[in-house]
Structure 1
């Protein structure tokens, strides 16, 4: 079992380039079940994949459409939404990567063409954080002494941009699209299997899944799981109830 180093041990560890070792404290990398972008994307996509087909099923049932037709329409909706979400997410990741590279190239060019202006911008950023006098001048020179580090600093603190990972974004988008399709298939099963009271079964399955996903997402964000489950259920109920009422009025 790993334990945090004591303060006495930390003082005797060698420093790295003048940086002292990390003092004891909470884990540096906190591991949450749903903390990653992949898990968040899958969770949110699955929640959307639950709500939309259930709402469609409610509307078609209110209009008197046969359960088999309702099920087929719900599956088609889930597939369309899943494919659309996956492809749009993948294209968005490519656009974000291209935007980052374009901005980085511009910063590199400006650091060559206008080095004094770029140094002043570094100083202005550090000044906002309370760095003054000789310390400010030394910090600016230290940052500007390495071109890559200089551009990294400007990308992060001037433009508030982090380098995206298109491969990871693609995985998130594709996994989210698959989750949306599977969630839609789940709530359409009662229609496809011809269960009596398919709408009630679909609402029940969708509601349970929404509560579970909403609770997990809230817990990953450090919020009360019951509150997250209640919010997710309320959103689903509002969407499906609204679709059913509107279809009744129109019908």
Structure 2
């Protein structure tokens, strides 16, 4: 039995879909922020637990780390996405200058690009003439074909905001148990670990759902990667615990 297609291939539906402006996805930014936020927080909590420090220390350090690291990561992602925009703008200006100074050479580049795709003879020359008749289309083609870049990308501000929001939202999950007064001692850390595991698995599950991947596998992969970071942090805390014990004496 054939599967239902994701969209219609009726000529009118195709025309409307291709005419619509591209809609950039911020899924990568959200997933990156969510995973890193949760891992950052649970790593702090695990290191404090390994060192045998009180739960309030884990909460204070985890909260401060969450806000500071979240802002830092959002700014870094903003700059990374903006650098892609700047690269496109630089290449567009470069191609515009090359077309004005050496139009024959730029036409030959178009010719060789489409010859490598299997076009030849009169058809190839018609493609070259059509593309080079419109300067914007000419430059767009060079951006995509010669430099391998998309013509548009996500908004740097929205990418940074998505990263920051998910970093805080998911990263706060391991800290929530420390606000429950009924928990005592190591129960705080155990509840925090469970909350982090659920959050990490949930992010992977959501990623699998959106991307059409096996949801269970995507959830477990994310959980294992994040859990590995927590284990490393816990071991480091255990290793440093004797040093902290000496300081408390």
Provide the rounded CA distance (Å) in 1 between the counterparts of 2:178 and 2:40: 15
Deviation at residue 174 of structure 1 after TM alignment: 1.1
**Conserved 8 A contact 1:42-1:179:** yes
Task: Write the deviation string for residues 43-97 of structure 1: whole angstroms up to 9, x where unpaired.
Answer: 2211111111111111111111111111010011110111011112222333322
**Conserved 8 A contact 2:144-2:151:** no
- Give the corresponding residue for 2:4: none
Task: Write the deviation string for residues 211-242 of structure 1: whole angstroms up to 9, x where unpaired.
Answer: 11101112222210000011011112211112
Show structure 1 runs of 5+ residues with no match.
Answer: 11-20, 30-34
- Give the corresponding residue for 1:211: 201
Provide the rounded CA distance (Å) in 2 between the counterparts of 1:146 and 1:114: 16
Show structure 2 runs of 5+ residues with no match.
Answer: 1-6, 242-249
Task: Write the deviation string for residues 1-26 of structure 1: whole angstroms up to 9, x where unpaired.
Answer: xx9587xxx6xxxxxxxxxx6789xx
Three-state SS of the structure 2 residue aligned to 1:37 is: coil
Q: 1:59 to 1:152 in 2, by over 3 A?
A: same
**Conserved 8 A contact 1:125-1:157:** yes
Q: CA RMSD in A?
A: 2.5
Q: 1:28 to 1:147 in 2, by over 3 A?
A: closer
Provide the rounded CA distance (Å) in 1 between the counterparts of 2:45 and 2:53: 9
Provide the rounded CA distance (Å) in 2 between the counterparts of 1:220 and 1:36: 14
- Give the corresponding residue for 1:173: 160
- Give the corresponding residue for 1:202: 192
39, 48, 63: which one pairs with 1:51? 39
Three-state SS of the structure 1 residue aligned to 2:26 is: helix
Three-state SS of the structure 1 residue aligned to 2:212 is: coil
78, 86, 92: which one pairs with 1:98? 86
TM-score (norm 2): 0.83
Q: How many residues align?
A: 228
TM-score (norm 1): 0.82
Q: 1:119 to 1:76 in 2, by over 3 A?
A: same
Deviation at residue 192 of structure 1 after TM alignment: 4.1
- Give the corresponding residue for 2:3: none
- Given the alignment of the two structures, is residue 124 of structure 1 paired with residue 112 of structure 2, yes or no? yes
193, 217, 231: which one pairs with 1:241? 231
54, 58, 67: which one pairs with 1:79? 67
Provide the rounded CA distance (Å) in 2 between the counterparts of 1:242 and 1:5: 50
**Conserved 8 A contact 2:173-2:199:** no
Task: Write the deviation string for residues 165-210 of structure 1: whole angstroms up to 9, x where unpaired.
Answer: 56x2311211211211222222112234452311111111111111
**Conserved 8 A contact 2:140-2:151:** no
Structure 1 segments (4+ residues) deviating >4 Å: 3-6, 21-24
Provide the rounded CA distance (Å) in 1 between the counterparts of 2:82 and 2:109: 29
Deviation at residue 36 of structure 1 after TM alignment: 5.5
Provide the rounded CA distance (Å) in 1 between the counterparts of 2:111 and 2:125: 8
